[in-house]
Amino acid sequence: MTLTERKNEARNSLIAEITGYLGGAFVVISLAVFVGERFDDLDKVLRSGLFLALFILFAALVFSLGTSTGLRARLASVLALASSISLTVALATFFEINRAPLAAFVVGSFATAAFFYRNRSELLHLGTAAFLFITSIMAAATIVRRDTDALTIPLAAAFWLALSAIWIYLAFNRKIQHVLGYSLAVVLLFLAIQALFIQDHREISYFVAAATVFALMRLYLIERIWPLLIAPLVIASVSIAELVAATLSGSISAVSGLFIAGALLIATSLFVIRSMNQKKHS
C-alpha cells in the first residue's frame, strides 16, 4: 500500500468515525425528545427500566467491539461511558434519591473504572476521574448532616486530596496515561486548596499549598513533565497572593514587597539559565 493510499484510508476512516458519532448523537437526541415528552407519565420502574436497557445495550456493544484497533477502542470508550451514565441514571431514578445519589454514583464509578481498566483510552480516563470527583461530593454531602452543610466542601476537598495522591501514584508507575494523569491530579490539588481557603480553613490551605509545591517540584526533577512544573508555580502564586490579601489586607507595602521579590526571582532564574547556556557553548 502506497503512502497516498494510506492517507486516503486514514481520512476515510476518520470521516466514517465522525459520521458514526453524529448518527449516534441524532438517534440519542431523538429518543430523548420522544421519551422526555412522556417521561412524567411513566412510573419509576419504567423510567429506570429505559435507562437500564440502554446500559445493557451499550455494554453489549462495548464487548462486541473490543479494542483490537484504534477505531474500535475509541468507539468502545464512547459507548462505555454512555453505558456507565445510563446505569447511574437508572439507579438514581429507581431509588428516587434527591439529595445525594451516592449509591448510584458509586456503582457508576465502579462501572466506568472497570471499562477504563479494560480500555485505557483518554475518554474513559477523564470519565473515571469525573465520576470519582462527583462521587466525592456526593459522599461528603451524605456524611455531613443537613444543618452543617458548611463542612461539605472541606470534606470533599479532603477526598480530592486523596484522589490526587492516587492519580499521582498511578501516573508515576505508568498504570495510566501519565501526562493526563498528572494533569488531573494537579487540578484536584488546586481545587482542594482553593476550597479550603474559601471555606475559611486558611491555615490548612496554606500548609497544603506549601506541601504540594514542594512535592510537585521534587517530582518534576524526576519526571520533567510540564504539569508538574506549571502547577506548583500557579499554586504558589495564587496562595501567596491570597496570604498577602488575607493577612496584610493587601497593603501597598506588602504588594510592593511581593512584586520586588518576584522580580528578583525572575532575574535570578534568567541569570542562571544564561550562565548554563554559556557553559554549554564554551
Alpha-carbon distance of 272 to 187, in angstroms, equals 30
Residue that terminates a domain, selected from 143, 175, 206: 143
50 and 128 both lie in a single domain: yes
Q: Count Cβ atoms below 10 Å from residue 248 Cβ, excluding itself.
A: 14
Q: What's the average model confidence in pLDDT over 42-59?
A: 82
105 and 189 both lie in a single domain: no
Alpha-carbon distance of 270 to 268, in angstroms, equals 5
Report the mean per-residue pLDDT for the chain: 80
Residue 74 confidence class, pLDDT cut points 50, 70, 90: confident
| Per-residue confidence (pLDDT) for residue 42, from 0 to 100 | 67
Whether 191 is in a domain gets the answer: yes
Name, of 34-48, 91-105, 258-272, the range with top average pLDDT: 91-105
Q: Which residue has the cell 461530593?
A: 137
Alpha-carbon distance of 58 to 83, in angstroms, equals 5
179 and 229 both lie in a single domain: yes
Q: How many domains does the chain have?
A: 3
Q: Enumerate residues 6+ apart whose C-beta is below 8 A from 198.
A: 153
| Per-residue confidence (pLDDT) for residue 255, from 0 to 100 | 62
Name, of 24-28, 70-74, 149-153, 223-227, the range with top average pLDDT: 223-227
Give CA angle at 111 (105, 112), nearest 5°: 90
By C-alpha distance, which of 109, 102, 65 is closest to 87?
109
H or E element in which residue 88 lies: helix 70-95
Task: Tell me which residue range forms the domain holding 280.
Answer: 253-282
By C-alpha distance, which of 268, 157, 247, 135 is closest to 209?
157
| Per-residue confidence (pLDDT) for residue 262, from 0 to 100 | 65
Whether 186 is in a domain gets the answer: yes
| Per-residue confidence (pLDDT) for residue 50, from 0 to 100 | 81
CA distances 149 to 39, 189, 194, Å, are 32, 22, 17
166 and 242 both lie in a single domain: yes
User: Higher-confidence residue: 205 or 2?
Assistant: 205
| Per-residue confidence (pLDDT) for residue 35, from 0 to 100 | 62
pLDDT tens digits, 120-175: 899 999 999 999 999 998 888 888 765 555 677 888 899 999 999 999 999 999 99
124 and 160 both lie in a single domain: no
Alpha-carbon distance of 226 to 182, in angstroms, equals 9
Residue 40 confidence class, pLDDT cut points 50, 70, 90: low
181 and 118 both lie in a single domain: no
Whether 19 is in a domain gets the answer: no
Residue that terminates a domain, selected from 126, 143, 160: 143
Q: Enumerate residues 6+ apart whose C-beta is below 8 A from 123.
A: 74, 77, 78, 81
Whether 282 is in a domain gets the answer: yes
CA distances 235 to 159, 232, 239, Å, are 19, 5, 6
